[in-house]
Amino acid sequence: MLSKSNKTAIRDSLNSDFPFRDIQINMLCNLFLTDDGVLPPCVFIHGLPSTGKTSIATRLLYLLGKSVKSSIVNSVCCYTNQFLFEPILKDLLQIKQSELPDRCDNFMQFLNILKQSEIQQERVIILLDNCEMLGHEQIVLFTKLQELIKSYQLCVILISQVHPAKFDEDINFIPIVFEQYNNDEILFILSKDIPKNWSLSIYQNFLTVFMGSFYGSCRDLVELKHLAKVLFIKYVEPIEDGSCTEINQPLLFRKISPTIQLLLNNVYLGTSLENVNSLSDENTKFDKLALDLPYYAKYFLIAAYIASFNLPKYDKQLFVKASNKKKKSNRLVNKTENSTSQLVGPKIFSLDRLLAIFYAIIEENTNMTANLLAQVNTLSDLGLLIRLGDGKLDTPKYRCSVSFDCVNNIARTVKFNLNKYLIDK
Amino acid sequence: MDSTVSVSKGCFVFKKPNKEKNNKRRSKKQLTTNQPEAELWHTTYIDVWNNIKSKIDDLNGSIYSKFISDTVNFMTKSNITTNQSIPTACLLTGVNLPDHESLFGLLATNLEKSQPPVIVATLFSEHFSSVKNAVISMVSQLLHTDDDESDSDEEMDESLNFVVKRSECTISNLIEWYSNQPNGTRIAVLVKDYEMCQQTVLQNFILLLSCYIKEIPIVMAIGIATSISNLHNSLPHHVVTKLKVKMFVSEASVVFLNNIMDQVFLKPDCSFYLGGRILDYVTEVFLYYNFSIKQFIESLKFCLIEHFYRKPLNCICVAHESAQEALFNSLDKKTLEEITKLRSTNYKLKIDSNFKENFLRLIRELKACINDFYIGLRVLHILVADLPHSPLGTKLREMYCTAMKKHIIDDTSYKTCLQLLKFLSKDDLLAKFDKIIHVLKNVKNNQRTKDALKLVQSYVKSLEESHLNNLVIEKEKPKEKPKESLQAISRSQFKKILIENVKNEDNQPMTEFEKARSETLDNFTEIILRQFLVPPTTMPLNELLIFDDLPSIKRKIVGEDRAAQYTAFINPQHYLCCDCCELEFTEQIFKTMPDISIVYKLHLESRFDQINIYDWLQKFISIVGPSQNDNDNDDDIDPVLQSRFVRALNELQHLGYIRPSKYKADHVQRLTCGSC
């Protein structure tokens, strides 16, 4: 058992390391730093990403140290039952993989081994991070583990970004909610890792500018930290080369705002932002990378788009040359930004219809060769078409999954007027 | 009704691959020894192909080299320790999926050679059926590379020498194995086809790897065929934050095509000459259908086989001159007669005492002509490639195709080129001539080139001497214009005269340079280009060296399945080569035809898309059944005939021509339209 002074030490250390998490730390400490050693059966920690869930829980377990037996498992790694149970057993029984009695790949074996090792006498905490990756019944069983083992000193902590109500109303747990940090809290936390050689006032000025532009689009602390680091180097450039003083904030802001604009478009993209300059290079590269497809594949994609966003009943109007309704249809075609068909989304079409439209819009006369048909498959492999149906040979069905802008760009490269062929009703 | 329930039910035996690889190798060797190696065409083909192949490989390596070295640099140098993110190289490689395999192979070998050591596992989309599968295939690939090394290193732990069981391929084993590796070793995971992977599995796999990045330094490379936005669209934020993405863009595959044509095929040292039509066709397949270099090379390879297969004459032409005579003597009389029948010889070549000498002389002339042709082509390319609107195309291969078919100088587009050239500035023109001189100087042992070189040099000299501003004083003044004609008789005549006057006045006196320029260009065209660019296809015996037999290979390079089916049904004799069903007109039906063919032809006769099966059966029996058609036994149908009919029907259904109708039970729906 821990002494009273120890407990306050743990509490204080947590509070100093993790600001603005008083309520959550309080709750955790009340639950786990008890005098009688009785632990709750299941605690469910949930909250949005980077709010300190895993860090606080693991730090708590670390601080509890030898007084409890603990096992921390990231459920992402448990792609089979075996990889879920065996690491837990290894941690709790403090043995190596080779010393496990035998394979443990179902819950019954897991329970038996735990029971045999007389784990009931000790305080045990099992922490399952990202528990939404586990199977439903596994979560239910873990919440009832205390019951099944018959030990009051066993607790399972589940951590997830998913709200517990999404799982099942059937499970019993003590919820602990980690709220997102608000603007001021993030400012405070960010100001903690101030770069060397710079005064706090400059950095805080920078952070107010930074948060003002980024807080609206991103509240992920990890991402913000990274962005701040990249941006600060750019921010202080004018100060370093002497063209601007520290006090002249409006000028500094004017100088940094184009870079902020650039970065705002790249939040959450995971592109390696080692410095801002590399980013602008990459942006120019993006422009060059229009989708480059073989000639017929382009026409197939256009045909697929037409098939997806037009009803089959208009096909005759559009593609049969003798049809005298054509003039009428031309008047109807007024593509607006958000036409109804765009909002409804692509509709399913069959391969036959795709081929028919393809041959109607293509100018040259081409034979239907194996290569040509392979193009359709290539497109669906590339994710530009979505293949539907159960893989039957006779009636494959597709759906176009490319945006209007993309197809329109492709159509322009082959000098095809796509708007003329879209009927919106 | 399920359409796959058809006659084509069957079971397939998949034999377990033989574990002992040696066995396989041996059997392969036996197979190859059975090949007719001794045959002339085969050895020639192998020689030529190996030559081409090695050049292509070199070229590929050199084109990819920057892309690969950049990627390898990133994957070996990038900082791993930053917060759980995996350094990931996104390789934007274009849509030609079949070629990616070779690219990733190249990347893998380059990574393995690099310092610090990198151990590579390549994962394909089929590995991403589940996270378990992905991990197993990754770990087993990684551990097995170690096996190969430990073969030489006998002091290694014995347990590692065993082939690792699938159940043992776990991350924890990997970590254990990694601790035995030299310091600084990295593990590279290459994901070849990102678009085809199951996204959820890939996401979990990335999350899984990022959990272990502290224990094992992992780098990734993901091949993306479409665009980088695809990555951002399909990976959620919590996965993307685990990656540190850097993009690498490879050259477009069209660049490869141009390079392969310029550097390998359109060079005089390549002993395989393509005709204009063939080249046109294969490049069209490339540009219009698939962007696949691999298929492009394979189809050229096929052309090569077709060119040499059982054609000793073609082989002799390629052979070295010293061997030609001996080989020629070994020919039999029939082949010799074939030579005289070739269209290009114009029936002038006769079998007589000088036949051999004549033949060899013609071949030599032809080769010289081709050589000159290539030189002329390069000169022409320099001259016209960067003209506005590029009337002759910008690529060497495009000019090659045109020039092969007919004399390019007589082409109208060359005339436009010439006009455009006459607007060039002095510096531009001299720069072009400089390049031309450079090309001509590089050619050795060619009298004609030497002469041309001298001529060009003299042109350059005259151009350099000409002044830009000095006007040429034209000695002969334009004829005195009859002034009185202005008082014309009619209005139209007056107009005509005015226009003519304007025209004459428009003829501004040329400067010295302008005069020199137009003279030079005209001379250059007429004297040099005309003699160099004689299309080799007009020379005698060109069929033996230049492969231009498009009809024979067209269907073989690009299959046309529906057309083939149609011919098989309509005219089974085309494939069966029997003498019983010779057609006089396409609608004809014979009793001797295969059942499915008869059924197909009968179904074409139906005018509606719903076909009554019973009527169809009656028609079928009337053709196939016994000839005496008595009315009394109309009802009972011979079960043998009926089963034959149903079987044929099922086959048609399986091939997708008909399907059961939704409206009437005894009807089927026709799925094709028209009369074919």
Q: How do residues B268-277 score in pLDDT, each as one tens digit?
A: 777 788 888 8
CB-based contact B177:B121 (threshold 8 Å):
no
Q: What is the residue-wise DSSP string for A148-208?
A: HHT-TTEEEEEEESS-GGGT-TT---EEEEEPPP-HHHHHHHHHHSPPTTS-HHHHHHHHH
Say how far apart CA B241 and CA B84 lie, in whole Å. 9
- Looking at chain B from residue 65 to 94, which residues have their Cβ under 8 Å from any Cβ of chain A? 78, 83, 85, 87, 92, 94
* pLDDT value for B14: 56
* pLDDT value for B366: 85
Question: pLDDT by residue (tens digit) across B297-347?
Answer: 888 888 888 888 877 777 877 777 777 777 777 777 777 777 777 777 766
* pLDDT value for B7: 41
Q: Is A245 exposed, middle or buried (0-12, 13-18, 19+ CB in 10 A)?
A: exposed
B455 close to A (CB below 8 A): no
* pLDDT value for A304: 92
Say how far apart CA A293 and CA A285 lie, in whole Å. 18
Say how far apart CA B254 and CA A53 lie, in whole Å. 52
CB contact under 8 A, B560 and A289: no
Mean predicted confidence (pLDDT) in B570-593: 82
pLDDT at B17 over 70: no
User: Of A74, A282, A382, which has the smallest distance from its Cβ to B195's Cβ?
Assistant: A382
* pLDDT value for B24: 42
How many other CB atoms are there within 10 angstroms of residue A41's CB atom? 19
The C-alpha of A284 sits at a distance from chain B's nearest C-alpha, in angstroms, of 12
CB contact under 8 A, A381 and B193: yes
* pLDDT value for B669: 84
* pLDDT value for A290: 57
CB contact under 8 A, B290 and A220: no
Say how far apart CA B502 and CA B230 lie, in whole Å. 63
Say how far apart CA A16 and CA A22 lie, in whole Å. 10
CB-based contact A80:A66 (threshold 8 Å):
no
CB-based contact A55:A18 (threshold 8 Å):
yes
SS3 B594: coil
* pLDDT value for B645: 92
- CA Rg, chain A, in Å? 30
E strand or H helix that includes residue B654: helix B639-655
* pLDDT value for B674: 52
Q: Is B429 exposed, middle or buried (0-12, 13-18, 19+ CB in 10 A)?
A: buried
Question: pLDDT by residue (tens digit) across B122-135?
Answer: 988 888 888 888 98
The C-alpha of A372 sits at a distance from chain B's nearest C-alpha, in angstroms, of 6
- Specify which residues B660 forms β-bridges with: B668
* pLDDT value for A1: 55
CB contact under 8 A, A375 and B289: yes
Question: pLDDT by residue (tens digit) across A355-402?
Answer: 889 988 887 777 777 888 888 888 888 888 888 876 555 668 898 888
The more confident residue out of A270 and B667 is B667
The C-alpha of A54 sits at a distance from chain B's nearest C-alpha, in angstroms, of 13
Q: Is the pTM of this model over 0.80?
A: no
pLDDT at B19 over 50: no
CB-based contact A300:B296 (threshold 8 Å):
no
The C-alpha of B179 sits at a distance from chain A's nearest C-alpha, in angstroms, of 16
Those residues of chain A that have pLDDT short of 50 are 284, 286-288, 325-329, 331-332
Residue in this structure with the two tokens 């060769």, named with its chain if needed? A369
Taking CA atoms, B403 is separated from A316, B282, B372, in Å, by 45, 17, 13
CB-based contact B513:B463 (threshold 8 Å):
yes
- Long-range residue pairs from B387-396, CB within 8 A, at least 24 positions apart, any chain: B387/B417, B387/B420, B387/B421, B388/B420, B391/B416, B391/B417, B391/B420, B392/B417, B395/B258, B395/B261, B395/B262, B396/B258, B396/B261, B396/B262, B396/B266
SS3 B608: coil
* pLDDT value for A276: 52
Say how far apart CA B417 and CA B423 lie, in whole Å. 10
* pLDDT value for B154: 38
Say how far apart CA A403 and CA A291 lie, in whole Å. 12
Mean predicted confidence (pLDDT) in B104-115: 86
Say how far apart CA B650 and CA B6 lie, in whole Å. 6
Question: pLDDT by residue (tens digit) across B161-185?
Answer: 445 677 777 888 888 888 888 888 8
Among the ranges given (A383-397, B111-125, B216-230), the one the predictor scored with the smallest mean pLDDT: A383-397
CB contact under 8 A, B247 and A371: no
CB contact under 8 A, B204 and A392: no
Cα dihedral B466→B468→B470→B475 (10° resolution):
60
Say how far apart CA B309 and CA B177 lie, in whole Å. 53
The C-alpha of B540 sits at a distance from chain A's nearest C-alpha, in angstroms, of 34
Question: pLDDT by residue (tens digit) across A197-210?
Answer: 888 888 888 888 88
Say how far apart CA B392 and CA B408 lie, in whole Å. 9
E strand or H helix that includes residue B335: helix B333-341
* pLDDT value for B236: 82
Residues 6 or more apart in contact with residue A141 via CB below 8 angstroms: A107, A148
- In what order do the strands lie in the sheet containing A69-74? A69-74, A124-129, A154-160, A42-47, A174-178
| Residue A386 CA, distance from chain mean position | 22
Residues 6 or more apart in contact with residue B344 via CB below 8 angstroms: B537, B538, B539, B540, B541, B542, B543
Residues B619, B624, B630, B634: is their CA dihedral positive or negative? negative
Mean predicted confidence (pLDDT) in B598-608: 85
The first and second tokens of residue A396, run together, are 């494959």
pLDDT at B647 over 90: yes
pLDDT tier, B27 (very low <50, low <70, confident <90, very high otherwise): very low
* pLDDT value for B2: 40
Say how far apart CA A93 and CA A70 lie, in whole Å. 10
* pLDDT value for A287: 47
CB contact under 8 A, B288 and A294: yes
Say how far apart CA B248 and CA B226 lie, in whole Å. 13
CB-based contact B136:B166 (threshold 8 Å):
yes
B227 close to A (CB below 8 A): yes
**ipTM at complex level:** 0.85
CB contact under 8 A, A371 and B559: yes
- Residue B347: closest CA among B338, B334, B357: B338
- Looking at chain A from residue 304 to 343, which residues have their Cβ under 8 Å from any Cβ of chain B? none
Say how far apart CA A3 and CA B517 lie, in whole Å. 103
* pLDDT value for B629: 54
Taking CA atoms, B285 is separated from A170, A372, B299, B444, in Å, by 61, 10, 10, 36
SS3 B282: helix
Question: pLDDT by residue (tens digit) across B526-560?
Answer: 888 888 888 888 887 888 888 888 888 887 888 77
User: Of A77, A288, A381, which has the smallest distance from its Cβ to B208's Cβ?
Assistant: A77
Cα dihedral B593→B599→B600→B606 (10° resolution):
130
Question: pLDDT by residue (tens digit) across B37-66?
Answer: 467 788 888 888 898 888 888 888 788 888
